[in-house]
A and B are shown apart, each in its own frame.
Chain A
Amino acid sequence: MGIAALGVDGVVWGWEGKGVSQIFASWVIAPAISAAFAAIIFLITKYGVLRRSEPLRWGFMMVPVYFAITSGILTMLIVWKGVSSSH
């Protein structure tokens, strides 16, 4: 949309504001942050549940917690998205 509406000169190529370089950086940073979160969750699951001597028992204890966290995140997404798009 930037190029379409404002021409090539309308594109901010540098770091200032929402420049293109910043978007290239987000290609590395966003997956890295995501990788860190996923790794933490998986390591908690791996050593807190799957690697224990009774994985099923620990799994039963963790399932409600996981469900609460996931539905909380889903609610956050809906509430925040609703707020940000209404104004």
Chain B
Amino acid sequence: MQAASLNLGGWSAGQIAGCIFGVAGGVALLVVVFFLPFLHRKLVKEDWTIRWWHIFYGPLLLTRGPVPEAPEGAQTQIVQDYYRGKATKADLEAANIKPSTIAEAEATRADTHSDDLGIQKEVGVGSRSLASVERMDTGPWYYPKNLWKIVVDAALHGVRVDVISEQGRSSKLAGDINDMHARAAHFDNKTEHLYSFLQILTAATASFAHGSNDVSNATGPLATIYLVWHTGIVNKKAPVPVWVLAYGGAAIVIGLWTYGYNIMRNLGNRLTLQSPSRGFSMELGSAVTVVLATRLALPVSTTQCIVGATMGVALCNGDFKALNWRMVAWWYVFQFTKSRGYNGY
């Protein structure tokens, strides 16, 4: 059986180094020629008319002339507020609320929504009954259009969850979220916006590393079982068929689609305050580690690396309490009970 591979075995060290530096230099050149003029137009000139396809104009954007006046009342916000709903220490003091009292108030309320400061308030009875009124209006569940709605809701539930607002809710594990977030600095939003583009690239790198590293761990036992069933021989080293790898990749995507929000909820803002620049540092840090480990043939889990990187950034976020130690401890217990470390062999 053919193992999945690129046929790069014959490459010399020089060819590999040339390939790496060539790609890096090429990407840097493309960024300077096409991406920087776009960013300059959008962020420095604050051109509200610019759209994503203008990126292909490249240097021509520098000759685009003055920015037209925005019509009255038009929505011209250039960059979203990456710290929306996150209070700073000064905000909390100005509102004269001790962070701990917010957490206590949240814990006693089941139905909450967050206002601009992330401080939870009770939702009125009216808004709760609206949904039930709508439900009564559509008729019984077995109507074809309702059945279709049930199917769509079930299929899309995992991707529709608003992870950001879910994270605002305190729990035993989350602890005092407002206090933890208030310890981290808020940086310039436009600069943060630069990192949101970089984050796409680092996220792609991280997921590639995850796929190439962890899929083999997870599919190892399955491949062994299949091989024993197929050949009747127990072998210490077994080749993994390509279809098992494809199955593993598909299973990861299905898992992410349906229940991924649980991990995002707990290992995102509940671990420390997140922003594009922080997310970029975490993803790049863990990618470097995974590449090193791959080179040295050390067994690492990309999940452990990304949590480790999150902890590292969190400790540089502010003080010692900018990291949710309770969540870290819980996560280690979880890793231990999962105890899959030996599966890969």
Contacts and interface: CB of A to CB of B under 8 A. Distances in A.
B315 interface: yes
B139 to A, nearest CB: 52
A78 B6 contact: yes
Interface in A44-87: 45-46, 49-51, 55-56, 59-60, 63-87
B313 interface: yes
B205 A30 contact: no
B298 A26 contact: yes
B28 A64 contact: yes
B338 to A, nearest CB: 11
Interface residues of A, number: 61
Interface string A1-45: 111111000010000001010011011001111111111111101
Nearest to B328: A31
Given A30-B300, A72-B23, A3 B308 contact: no
Interface string B280-306: 111011111111111101111100111
Interface of B: 3-9, 11, 16, 19-21, 23-25, 27-28, 31-32, 35-36, 39-40, 43-44, 185, 187-188, 190-191, 194-195, 197-198, 201-202, 204-205, 208-209, 212, 220-221, 224-225, 234-236, 238, 277-278, 280-282, 284-295, 297-301, 304-313, 315-316, 332, 335, 341-345
29 contacts: A1-B224, A18-B345, A20-B341, A26-B300, A31-B304, A31-B309, A35-B285, A38-B309, A38-B310, A39-B313, A40-B285, A42-B278, A42-B316, A45-B277, A55-B188, A55-B191, A56-B43, A63-B31, A67-B201, A68-B27, A70-B205, A71-B24, A72-B21, A72-B24, A74-B287, A79-B16, A81-B212, A82-B7, A86-B6
